Amino acid sequence: MSDDAAGAGAATDGQGRVHLFEVDADLAAMVPKDDREEAASLATVTVEEHEPGPWDAPQGPEPDCLGLLVVNGLLSRDVDYGGVRSRELLGAGDLLRPWDVEDHLMPVPPRAAWTVLEASDLARIDRSVLHLGSRWPELIEELMHRMLHRSRWLAVRLAVTAMPRVDDRLLYFFWHAAGRWGVVTREGTLIPFGLTHEVLADLVGARRPSVTTALKKLRTKGRLERQDDGWLLKGDPPGRS
């Protein structure tokens, strides 16, 4: 999905809504070309803009809202459990339902909060998508695939946090993130997000000072470099050099 397909730049239907396929080209690709124009006219969404900082996510579903689709940007779901904090990264294409909590099923319920790490646009998906899915089931299959991919992405990140060395955790995490958001350049693979040392510490299960030391080690080895527009990975992924 292209980051410049932001909701703010898409044509509206005169009621402040934009065509879903204009903000998510991957969903449009699920519909046969001959049907795409018709489907696009039936699938419209409202898009919310969020600036970096804490996000007061909806605590209860609004009528007819299936979920929030990340159009662009980057957010994190921040979980505190037993005094330990972890983050889940969410970016373009992810489907969120912040109001889905099952604390009553957990003897020790976690505390969760949300942070907008990079300016983000969220599209509100309503039940009209289900009606479209009855005609073009590939749309629903794609949304289900994204939800499954999110759980698999988390499973890999859990394995990363179990690695003994913090520099290995960071290197594997960045290459894992590159699979979703990496941009190949002449210098290497760019992760176009300004993730801070504190955020990285939460993502790899380490303390911030240890992350700072590990990042210096990776920079000295020529494997990773901080740039104005993100983090630049150099060389091949681990195990392929």
Please give the single-letter amino acid code of residue 100.
Answer: D
Q: Tell me the three state secondary structure of residue 191.
A: strand
Per-residue model confidence (pLDDT) at position 66:
85
Decide the pairing of beta strands 18-19 and 183-184. unpaired
Query: pLDDT tens for residues 141-173?
Result: 998 898 888 889 999 999 999 999 999 999 999
> Which tokens hold the place of 18?
């934009």
Its pTM stands at: 0.85
What Rg value do the Cα atoms of the chain yield, rounded?
Answer: 19
Give 43's pLDDT tier (boundaries 50, 70, 90). confident
> Which tokens hold the place of 9?
């730049």
Which residue segments constitute the domains of the chain, with CATH numbers given?
7-159 (2.60.120.10), 164-233 (1.10.10.10)
* Separation of alpha carbons 39 and 57, rounded Å: 30
Cα dihedral across residues 134, 139, 143, 146: positive or negative: positive
pLDDT at 2 over 60: no
